[in-house]
Structure 1
Amino acid sequence: MRSNVMARTLVSLAAAVGIAAGGLATAGTSQAASAPAAHPVVSLQSGVLATHNFGLSSAQAKNVQRWLQTYWGYTDSIDGQLGTNSWKAFQRCLKQYWGYTGAIDGDPGVNTVKALQRLLQNWGYTGAIDGDPGSGTQAAFKNFANNI
């Protein structure tokens, strides 16, 4: 009889804890839902390198990497992913010929894209030099990649 009372007590206690935990979880989610959603911050310092192909397929990006290897000191693998080292090599080209004045840091930010757009004017780009790698920039970049 005593073990039966003990079992009921444990079951009741477990149920009470479960209900309380569920209530706390629900309160937490309802509170979180009313707060603005936080956006995770991604840092390149974490060891994950960003890839910016700007609409190129892997095959097209490999063409660009081979071109960068031949002319601009790219030494990494030809993997079809335009990462930091690909963009450093590209920035060397853009600095020499296309008005890029930023650091050779491998980050294809606004100034890198502006210089790229100046280069791409020879490959069909007719848009503004605005640093936005939109559809016009991407189409010209594909034309460049297919014909270098």
Structure 2
Amino acid sequence: MQHYPLAAHHPWVGFSLVLLFAIFAGSCSTETIPAPLPAQRAHTQYLLVVVHGSGDTAADWPADILQRVAAVVEHQELWDFVAYDWSSAAADKATAARTGLAIGEALGTQRASENYSYERIQLIGHSIIATASVQPVSSTVMRCL
């Protein structure tokens, strides 16, 4: 089996996690925010965050994707893999968009204020294109995703 480095040499290294939920979601909310991102492990350089959509949990398809990626990525010791679970907030499809943006803002603030030094952050999420197609998103952001 051939191993591939995960998205090597992209110019958008270090963009905020706010983009993840801003693309998923619509307007801002101050509803309950699920758990923060885990602390960066020593010597890791890269972060892969997989986020489920409304009605799913991190134990559904995100866990499977993380296992598959970890099995083929080179230098696993350099990566932190996170299946972010916001199922408690995502269960209500009527408010998931508002809550998703609030979560993204909270995670972006956390990443900016705490001791994170990832060289690259990769994001995989559900419903990204469906929601992004109705929002004003720059072509630069879409290339990043």
TM-score, normalised to structure 2, is 0.27
Higher radius of gyration, 1 or 2: 1
TM-score, normalised to structure 1, is 0.26
Decide which structure has greater helix share. 1
